[in-house]
Structure 1
Amino acid sequence: MTIEVNNESGTEVDEAEFAALARHVLDAMHVHPRTEVSIMMVTSDVMTDLHVRWMDEPGPTDVLSFPMDELRPGREGDMAGPGLLGDVVLCPDVAAAQARTAGHSMVEEMLLLTTHGILHLLGYDHAEPEEEKEMFALQRNLLLTFLASR
Protein backbone atom coordinates (compact mmCIF):
# COMPACT_ATOMS: atom_id res chain seq x y z
CA MET A 1 0.00 0.00 0.00
CA THR A 2 1.31 3.43 -0.85
CA ILE A 3 0.11 5.99 1.66
CA GLU A 4 1.48 9.46 1.24
CA VAL A 5 1.04 11.98 4.06
CA ASN A 6 1.87 15.62 3.34
CA ASN A 7 1.59 18.26 6.03
CA GLU A 8 1.44 21.74 4.54
CA SER A 9 -0.58 23.19 7.42
CA GLY A 10 2.20 24.38 9.72
CA THR A 11 0.61 22.33 12.53
CA GLU A 12 2.88 19.64 13.93
CA VAL A 13 1.45 16.12 13.63
CA ASP A 14 2.91 12.62 13.65
CA GLU A 15 2.59 11.79 9.96
CA ALA A 16 3.47 8.13 10.62
CA GLU A 17 0.37 7.80 12.83
CA PHE A 18 -1.88 8.96 10.00
CA ALA A 19 -0.21 6.55 7.58
CA ALA A 20 -0.70 3.72 10.10
CA LEU A 21 -4.38 4.65 10.51
CA ALA A 22 -4.91 4.68 6.74
CA ARG A 23 -3.22 1.27 6.46
CA HIS A 24 -5.45 -0.07 9.26
CA VAL A 25 -8.64 1.23 7.61
CA LEU A 26 -7.71 -0.03 4.15
CA ASP A 27 -6.71 -3.46 5.50
CA ALA A 28 -9.95 -3.72 7.48
CA MET A 29 -11.94 -2.77 4.37
CA HIS A 30 -10.10 -5.42 2.31
CA VAL A 31 -8.57 -2.93 -0.10
CA HIS A 32 -5.76 -4.28 -2.28
CA PRO A 33 -2.29 -3.74 -0.77
CA ARG A 34 -1.06 -1.96 -3.93
CA THR A 35 -3.71 0.74 -3.60
CA GLU A 36 -2.51 4.34 -3.33
CA VAL A 37 -4.00 7.05 -1.12
CA SER A 38 -2.87 10.54 -0.19
CA ILE A 39 -3.56 12.42 3.03
CA MET A 40 -2.83 16.13 3.08
CA MET A 41 -3.09 18.69 5.88
CA VAL A 42 -3.59 22.28 4.74
CA THR A 43 -4.14 25.77 6.12
CA SER A 44 -7.57 27.33 6.55
CA ASP A 45 -6.98 29.54 3.50
CA VAL A 46 -6.19 26.57 1.26
CA MET A 47 -9.15 24.60 2.63
CA THR A 48 -11.45 27.59 2.05
CA ASP A 49 -10.32 27.73 -1.58
CA LEU A 50 -10.93 24.00 -2.03
CA HIS A 51 -14.30 24.14 -0.27
CA VAL A 52 -15.53 27.01 -2.46
CA ARG A 53 -14.11 25.53 -5.67
CA TRP A 54 -15.34 21.94 -5.26
CA MET A 55 -18.37 22.17 -2.96
CA ASP A 56 -19.52 25.74 -3.68
CA GLU A 57 -19.63 26.30 0.08
CA PRO A 58 -18.09 29.29 1.91
CA GLY A 59 -15.27 29.10 4.44
CA PRO A 60 -13.03 26.23 5.45
CA THR A 61 -14.30 22.76 6.27
CA ASP A 62 -12.76 19.96 8.31
CA VAL A 63 -12.18 17.30 5.62
CA LEU A 64 -12.65 16.88 1.88
CA SER A 65 -12.28 13.66 -0.08
CA PHE A 66 -11.37 13.45 -3.75
CA PRO A 67 -11.91 9.92 -5.09
CA MET A 68 -9.96 8.81 -8.15
CA ASP A 69 -10.56 5.24 -9.34
CA GLU A 70 -13.88 4.80 -7.48
CA LEU A 71 -12.59 1.74 -5.65
CA ARG A 72 -14.96 -0.02 -3.28
CA PRO A 73 -14.29 -2.19 -0.23
CA GLY A 74 -13.64 -5.86 -0.80
CA ARG A 75 -14.72 -8.78 1.33
CA GLU A 76 -12.72 -11.25 3.36
CA GLY A 77 -11.05 -13.50 0.79
CA ASP A 78 -12.27 -11.29 -2.08
CA MET A 79 -10.15 -8.17 -2.13
CA ALA A 80 -10.88 -5.26 -4.45
CA GLY A 81 -8.25 -4.67 -7.14
CA PRO A 82 -5.41 -2.18 -6.81
CA GLY A 83 -5.74 1.40 -7.92
CA LEU A 84 -5.54 5.03 -6.96
CA LEU A 85 -8.07 5.52 -4.17
CA GLY A 86 -7.73 9.31 -4.02
CA ASP A 87 -6.94 12.19 -1.69
CA VAL A 88 -8.11 13.13 1.80
CA VAL A 89 -7.53 16.79 2.68
CA LEU A 90 -7.68 17.84 6.34
CA CYS A 91 -7.68 21.27 7.96
CA PRO A 92 -6.07 21.14 11.42
CA ASP A 93 -7.42 24.61 12.32
CA VAL A 94 -11.03 23.49 11.83
CA ALA A 95 -10.26 20.14 13.50
CA ALA A 96 -8.85 21.96 16.56
CA ALA A 97 -12.04 24.01 16.97
CA GLN A 98 -14.21 20.91 16.60
CA ALA A 99 -12.03 19.00 19.07
CA ARG A 100 -12.50 21.71 21.72
CA THR A 101 -16.28 21.49 21.27
CA ALA A 102 -16.20 17.68 21.40
CA GLY A 103 -13.87 17.60 24.42
CA HIS A 104 -10.99 15.64 22.93
CA SER A 105 -7.62 16.38 21.35
CA MET A 106 -7.02 17.82 17.90
CA VAL A 107 -5.12 14.67 16.95
CA GLU A 108 -8.09 12.48 17.90
CA GLU A 109 -10.35 14.70 15.81
CA MET A 110 -7.97 14.53 12.85
CA LEU A 111 -7.75 10.74 13.11
CA LEU A 112 -11.55 10.61 13.11
CA LEU A 113 -11.68 12.92 10.08
CA THR A 114 -9.06 10.83 8.27
CA THR A 115 -11.15 7.70 8.81
CA HIS A 116 -14.23 9.60 7.66
CA GLY A 117 -12.45 10.83 4.55
CA ILE A 118 -11.17 7.38 3.59
CA LEU A 119 -14.68 5.95 3.94
CA HIS A 120 -15.91 8.65 1.55
CA LEU A 121 -13.20 7.58 -0.91
CA LEU A 122 -14.56 4.03 -0.63
CA GLY A 123 -18.06 5.17 -1.57
CA TYR A 124 -19.68 5.67 1.83
CA ASP A 125 -21.89 8.69 2.38
CA HIS A 126 -24.12 10.14 5.08
CA ALA A 127 -26.71 12.10 3.12
CA GLU A 128 -29.57 9.84 4.27
CA PRO A 129 -30.21 8.73 7.88
CA GLU A 130 -29.55 5.03 7.17
CA GLU A 131 -26.32 5.86 5.30
CA GLU A 132 -25.21 8.07 8.17
CA LYS A 133 -25.93 5.36 10.73
CA GLU A 134 -23.92 2.78 8.75
CA MET A 135 -21.00 5.08 7.95
CA PHE A 136 -20.65 6.55 11.44
CA ALA A 137 -20.83 3.12 13.11
CA LEU A 138 -18.14 1.80 10.76
CA GLN A 139 -16.04 4.93 11.28
CA ARG A 140 -16.26 4.55 15.06
CA ASN A 141 -15.39 0.85 14.95
CA LEU A 142 -12.39 1.39 12.66
CA LEU A 143 -11.02 4.24 14.76
CA LEU A 144 -11.54 2.42 18.07
CA THR A 145 -9.82 -0.74 16.82
CA PHE A 146 -6.92 1.37 15.54
CA LEU A 147 -6.54 3.24 18.83
CA ALA A 148 -6.78 0.00 20.82
CA SER A 149 -3.91 -1.46 18.78
CA ARG A 150 -1.57 1.48 19.52
Structure 2
Amino acid sequence: MTTLYIDADACPVREEAYRVAARYGLVVFVVCNSWMRTPGGPRVTLVVVDEGPDVADDWIAERAGPGDVVVTADIPLAGRALAAGAQALHPAGRPFTPDNIGGALAGRAVGEHLRSMGEVTRGPSAFTPADRSRFLQALDAAVVKARRVARP
Protein backbone atom coordinates (compact mmCIF):
# COMPACT_ATOMS: atom_id res chain seq x y z
CA MET A 1 0.00 0.00 0.00
CA THR A 2 1.22 3.49 -0.83
CA THR A 3 2.02 5.66 2.17
CA LEU A 4 2.21 9.44 2.09
CA TYR A 5 4.85 11.03 4.33
CA ILE A 6 4.55 14.77 4.93
CA ASP A 7 7.53 16.72 6.26
CA ALA A 8 5.00 18.96 7.96
CA ASP A 9 6.96 21.75 9.64
CA ALA A 10 6.25 24.80 7.46
CA CYS A 11 4.47 22.73 4.79
CA PRO A 12 1.89 24.97 3.09
CA VAL A 13 -0.02 22.14 1.35
CA ARG A 14 -1.01 19.80 4.17
CA GLU A 15 -4.76 20.28 3.59
CA GLU A 16 -4.37 19.52 -0.11
CA ALA A 17 -2.32 16.43 0.68
CA TYR A 18 -5.01 15.21 3.09
CA ARG A 19 -7.68 15.58 0.40
CA VAL A 20 -5.67 13.62 -2.18
CA ALA A 21 -4.82 10.95 0.41
CA ALA A 22 -8.50 10.56 1.33
CA ARG A 23 -9.46 10.21 -2.34
CA TYR A 24 -6.94 7.37 -2.81
CA GLY A 25 -7.36 5.81 0.64
CA LEU A 26 -3.70 6.38 1.56
CA VAL A 27 -2.12 6.05 4.96
CA VAL A 28 -0.55 9.41 5.90
CA PHE A 29 2.21 10.19 8.38
CA VAL A 30 2.45 13.86 9.30
CA VAL A 31 5.92 14.28 10.79
CA CYS A 32 6.85 17.45 12.69
CA ASN A 33 8.62 18.86 15.75
CA SER A 34 5.48 20.05 17.57
CA TRP A 35 1.81 19.19 17.78
CA MET A 36 -0.45 20.34 14.97
CA ARG A 37 -4.03 19.68 14.03
CA THR A 38 -4.60 16.82 11.60
CA PRO A 39 -7.83 15.36 10.24
CA GLY A 40 -9.40 12.67 12.34
CA GLY A 41 -9.54 9.11 11.18
CA PRO A 42 -7.46 5.98 11.27
CA ARG A 43 -5.43 6.72 8.13
CA VAL A 44 -3.73 9.92 9.33
CA THR A 45 -1.10 9.69 12.05
CA LEU A 46 0.66 12.67 13.61
CA VAL A 47 4.25 11.86 14.53
CA VAL A 48 5.87 14.45 16.79
CA VAL A 49 9.62 13.95 16.91
CA ASP A 50 12.17 15.48 19.22
CA GLU A 51 13.55 18.92 18.44
CA GLY A 52 16.82 18.91 16.57
CA PRO A 53 18.29 19.12 13.13
CA ASP A 54 17.03 16.48 10.72
CA VAL A 55 15.12 14.45 13.34
CA ALA A 56 11.88 14.56 11.31
CA ASP A 57 13.84 13.94 8.11
CA ASP A 58 15.54 10.90 9.65
CA TRP A 59 12.19 9.48 10.79
CA ILE A 60 10.77 9.76 7.27
CA ALA A 61 13.93 8.54 5.51
CA GLU A 62 14.09 5.43 7.70
CA ARG A 63 10.56 4.40 6.64
CA ALA A 64 9.85 5.63 3.10
CA GLY A 65 10.50 3.22 0.28
CA PRO A 66 9.24 1.94 -3.05
CA GLY A 67 5.58 2.75 -3.58
CA ASP A 68 5.59 5.69 -1.14
CA VAL A 69 5.41 9.46 -1.66
CA VAL A 70 7.32 12.02 0.42
CA VAL A 71 6.24 15.68 0.44
CA THR A 72 9.13 17.91 1.48
CA ALA A 73 10.93 21.14 0.67
CA ASP A 74 14.09 19.66 2.20
CA ILE A 75 16.39 18.72 -0.68
CA PRO A 76 18.60 16.24 1.25
CA LEU A 77 15.49 14.42 2.50
CA ALA A 78 14.18 14.30 -1.07
CA GLY A 79 17.49 12.75 -2.12
CA ARG A 80 17.27 10.14 0.62
CA ALA A 81 13.66 9.33 -0.33
CA LEU A 82 14.62 8.90 -3.99
CA ALA A 83 17.55 6.68 -3.02
CA ALA A 84 15.12 4.49 -1.08
CA GLY A 85 12.85 4.19 -4.11
CA ALA A 86 10.09 6.58 -3.00
CA GLN A 87 8.61 9.46 -4.99
CA ALA A 88 9.59 12.90 -3.67
CA LEU A 89 7.61 16.07 -4.26
CA HIS A 90 8.24 19.72 -3.36
CA PRO A 91 5.20 21.56 -1.90
CA ALA A 92 5.29 23.91 -4.91
CA GLY A 93 4.56 20.91 -7.13
CA ARG A 94 8.03 20.24 -8.48
CA PRO A 95 8.86 16.55 -8.44
CA PHE A 96 12.34 15.61 -7.33
CA THR A 97 13.77 13.00 -9.68
CA PRO A 98 17.04 11.12 -10.08
CA ASP A 99 17.75 13.49 -12.98
CA ASN A 100 17.31 16.74 -11.03
CA ILE A 101 18.25 15.90 -7.44
CA GLY A 102 22.00 16.25 -8.04
CA GLY A 103 21.60 19.79 -9.36
CA ALA A 104 19.25 20.68 -6.50
CA LEU A 105 21.74 19.38 -3.91
CA ALA A 106 24.59 21.25 -5.60
CA GLY A 107 22.59 24.49 -5.68
CA ARG A 108 21.76 24.09 -2.00
CA ALA A 109 25.44 23.55 -1.17
CA VAL A 110 26.44 26.66 -3.12
CA GLY A 111 23.81 28.71 -1.29
CA GLU A 112 24.98 27.43 2.09
CA HIS A 113 28.58 28.26 1.19
CA LEU A 114 27.66 31.79 0.11
CA ARG A 115 25.67 32.37 3.30
CA SER A 116 28.57 31.08 5.41
CA MET A 117 30.75 33.73 3.76
CA GLY A 118 28.28 36.46 4.74
CA GLU A 119 26.49 36.82 1.42
CA VAL A 120 22.83 37.66 1.58
CA THR A 121 20.90 35.26 -0.63
CA ARG A 122 17.27 35.27 -1.69
CA GLY A 123 14.94 33.04 0.21
CA PRO A 124 12.37 30.88 -1.47
CA SER A 125 9.83 32.54 -3.73
CA ALA A 126 6.45 33.41 -2.27
CA PHE A 127 3.99 30.53 -2.39
CA THR A 128 1.26 31.20 -4.97
CA PRO A 129 -2.13 29.75 -5.90
CA ALA A 130 -0.46 28.40 -9.05
CA ASP A 131 2.01 26.51 -6.82
CA ARG A 132 -0.91 25.01 -4.89
CA SER A 133 -2.60 23.91 -8.11
CA ARG A 134 0.66 22.51 -9.50
CA PHE A 135 1.16 20.59 -6.23
CA LEU A 136 -2.28 18.97 -6.48
CA GLN A 137 -1.61 17.82 -10.04
CA ALA A 138 1.90 16.60 -9.20
CA LEU A 139 0.77 14.75 -6.07
CA ASP A 140 -1.97 13.00 -8.02
CA ALA A 141 0.57 11.91 -10.65
CA ALA A 142 3.08 10.81 -7.98
CA VAL A 143 0.46 8.70 -6.19
CA VAL A 144 -0.61 7.02 -9.43
CA LYS A 145 3.03 6.25 -10.24
CA ALA A 146 3.81 5.07 -6.69
CA ARG A 147 0.80 2.74 -6.60
CA ARG A 148 2.20 0.89 -9.61
CA VAL A 149 5.39 0.06 -7.71
CA ALA A 150 5.27 -3.13 -5.68
CA ARG A 151 6.92 -2.90 -2.29
CA PRO A 152 9.24 -5.80 -1.57
TM-score grouping bracket, smaller chain normalisation: 0.3 to 0.5
TM-score normalised according to structure 2 size: 0.34
Larger helix proportion of the pair: 1
